[in-house]
Structure 1
Amino acid sequence: LRAEGVDVALAEVIKGARNQIAFILIDARTGERTVIWDRDERLAYSEDETPRGFASRGRVLHMDAHDPRACARLAREARAGGTIVSLDIDNIYDGLAELLPHVDLLISSKEFPKRLTGVGEERAALVAAKSHLRADAVVGMTLGERGAVVYHEGVFVESPAFAVPGGCRDTTGAGDAFHTGFLHAMLDGEEIESCMHMGCAVAALKCRALGARTALPAAQELVNFLTGEGETS
């Protein structure tokens, strides 16, 4: 993380706790993955343990929601300081209702809107999910080989997936890669359509090799891919 310029000053060590661990099984035919995951309960983050004066330091606060009440406190602080709150989530956690009203951007796996709302049809589920968020929030889902779709201001915006150069080897982290591309474009002032296009491009390039970070593109490689120039395999 330090090698990539990530500030780890607030990373904590919990005495006696085990690191969380994930075994990831990859289907060699399709690149689809199954994750077997375990997290020591002592790693759970309470609202009282969240650092003060931290959440609004950046332009975006991007979170998962394993500890929703702690995330909600950070989200409130972030929004009060003008920071955009972005959420990536797959499952329903206790306390989630306290977090969602403070979220500006929620792009989840395709299963989450149904889990949240009980609505099966994808677009209808996004509309129903939007009612849990801020009125001006963006809500969406990644759809694997079908790309992604978001719902904002009464309009659906879709972006098709890119073909993975050389074929899909591993989808682990593809959703995270999508968020990376989307947020990068958003912070550059791009419209939602371009943000989704960028997100799908980063996700496709990430899937070229085994590992969640192995094939993530550098900035120029991403530009070359989007403009049809250079080698991306």
Structure 2
Amino acid sequence: MTTFDLLVVGDANPDVLLAGAPPVPPYGQAETLVSSGALALGGSAAIVAHGAARLGLSTALAAVVGRDGAGDFVLDVLTSAGVDIAAVTRHPDLPTALTICLDGPDGDRAILTAPGCLAAFDPAAFDPRQLPPARHIHAASYFLQPILAARLPDLFRTADATCSLDTNHDPSGHWHLTPGLLEACDYVLPNEAEALALTGTATVDAALAGFVKAGVVTPVVKRGRDGATARTGTELHNARLTPLVPVDTVGAGDSFDAGFLAAVLNGDDLDQALAIGCACGALSTREVGGTAAQPSWEQAVAYAAGSAGSADPAGSAIVPGVP
């Protein structure tokens, strides 16, 4: 059986992206015109898998979609990108999840998701020996998939691979993780708001320290236009590249994940991995949707190198007073 570079476990669905939506769309069967709309591949896991394949990693996705047109769309896009979908199952009854993103005129966004079959995704439905073997396993959209969430610590602990987690947002607002999950993670990859919520802290440095205390080897916090910060041992690592004027930021964090993991799996050090992640996140914002502008490896490396002059001058630093 082929050993992949990356196995991504999690969600896959179409995104319907509408730009120019009013802050509160009027009801009363009133039709409201918006400036533009697009249909794109969505789901954090699917976007990561698509981006990783674009970067040259041999990539497989384990997920569930319905036996419907939305599921057909998802599988067609993933297959066209070179993602192995042998571990994507089709639920016999429940529909594929669907997300609508409403981009308002002020740049803010509302995200509406019909979870469909997501909550039914159970990786234990696979014999672990039949899951595609990979050098690294990445899980995404933890809070949308309760069966996956409960089983993830065992999946990570028993895997002959390094492991990473991007929880994404928790719609319930509880931010509770399965006991033992963080200590099974080599990397966690939340954005800043998620990191603070997951650790109950008020600063990025405190969140990173909290993840390390919980057993994560290398926590990484994505900070949007301010780049990304990681911690390994007592060292902080920072990367910040020249930001682009975004067309659409949907999936930028997922593209960061793909770039960061690709760099790690290609043998780059942590500083370069952060820079490649930032480059992939930035370049993905050039077009509407999470995958349309995902870069190739050569494009990501070139952008990271071209932005080196604006990298965070602090670089790596020792955290004082931390064992």
**TM-score where L is the length of structure 1:** 0.85
AA in 1 matched with 2:233: E
Q: What residue is the counterpart of 1:173 in the other structure?
A: 251
* Residues 40 and 56 of structure 1: CA distance in aligned 2, closer, same or farther (over 3 Å): closer
SS of match in other structure, 2:279: helix
- 4+ residue stretches of structure 1 with deviation over 6 A? none
Q: Deviations over 1:160-214 (max 9, x none)?
A: 14321xx211111011110111111111111100000000001110011111101
Contact 1:23 1:35 (C-alpha < 8 Å) held by counterparts: yes
Aligned twin of 2:239? 159
Which of structures 1 and 2 has the larger relative contact order (alpha carbons within 8 angstroms, sep 6+)?
Answer: 2
Q: In the alignment, which of 205, 215, 237 is matched to residue 133 of structure 1?
A: 215
Match of 1:106 among 166, 174, 188: 188
Q: What is the match of residue 29 of structure 2?
A: none
Contact 2:182 2:215 in 1 (8 A): yes
Please give the alpha-carbon distance, in whole angstroms, between the structure 2 residues aligned to 1:160 and 1:34.
27
- In structure 2, give the amino acid aligned to 1:53: R
1:148 aligns with 2:224: no
Structure 2 residue aligned with 1:63: 139
Instruction: Quote the residue 2:199 is aligned against.
Output: 117
Contact 1:138 1:151 in 2 (8 A): yes
Q: Alpha-carbon deviations, 1:64-116, whole Å to 9, x = none?
A: 123312222221221xx2x1101111335665223222110111111222222
Shift of the 226–124 alpha-carbon distance from structure 1 to 2, 3 Å rule, reads: closer
Identify which of 258, 265, 268 aligns with 1:190.
Answer: 268
Amino acid at match of 1:141: V
Corresponding residue to 1:74 among 139, 155, 170: 155
Q: CA deviation at 1:221?
A: 2.5
1:51, distance to aligned residue in structure 2 (A): 3.5
Q: How many pairs are equivalent?
A: 221
Superposition deviation, residue 55 in structure 1: 5.5
SS in 2 for 1:98: coil
Match of residue 22 from structure 2: none
The equivalent residue for 1:222 is 300
The answer on whether the counterparts of 1:14 and 1:42 sit within 8 Å (CA) in structure 2 is no
Unaligned runs of 5+ in 1: none
User: In structure 2, what is the equivalent of residue 204 of structure 1?
Assistant: 282
Are the counterparts in 2 of residues 108 and 142 from structure 1 also a CA contact under 8 Å? yes
- AA aligned opposite 2:121: Y
Shift of 1:25: 1.9
Could you tell me which of 120, 143, 162 is aligned with 1:44?
120
**Offset of residue 141 of structure 1:** 0.9
Segment of structure 1 superposing worse, 67-76 or 167-176: 67-76
* Separation in structure 1 between the aligned mates of residue 132 and residue 167 of structure 2, nearest angstrom: 21
The TM-score, its normalising length taken from structure 2, stands at: 0.63
CA distance in 2 between counterparts of 1:110 and 1:189 reads: 26
CA RMSD of aligned residues (A): 2.3
- Please tell me whether the aligned partners of residues 33 and 171 of structure 1 are also in contact (alpha carbons under 8 angstroms): no
Alignment gaps of 5+ in structure 2: 1-77, 308-323
Alignment identity in percent?
Answer: 24
CA contact (8 A) 1:56 1:77 kept: no
Query: What letter corresponds to residue 180 of structure 2 in structure 1?
Result: E
For 1:97, which of 179, 185, 188 is the aligned residue?
A: 179
Contact 1:185-1:194 at 8 Å conserved across structures: yes
Cα distance, 1:41 vs structure 2: 5.8
Q: CA deviation at 1:27?
A: 4.1
User: Which amino acid counterpart does residue 93 of structure 2 have in structure 1?
Assistant: G
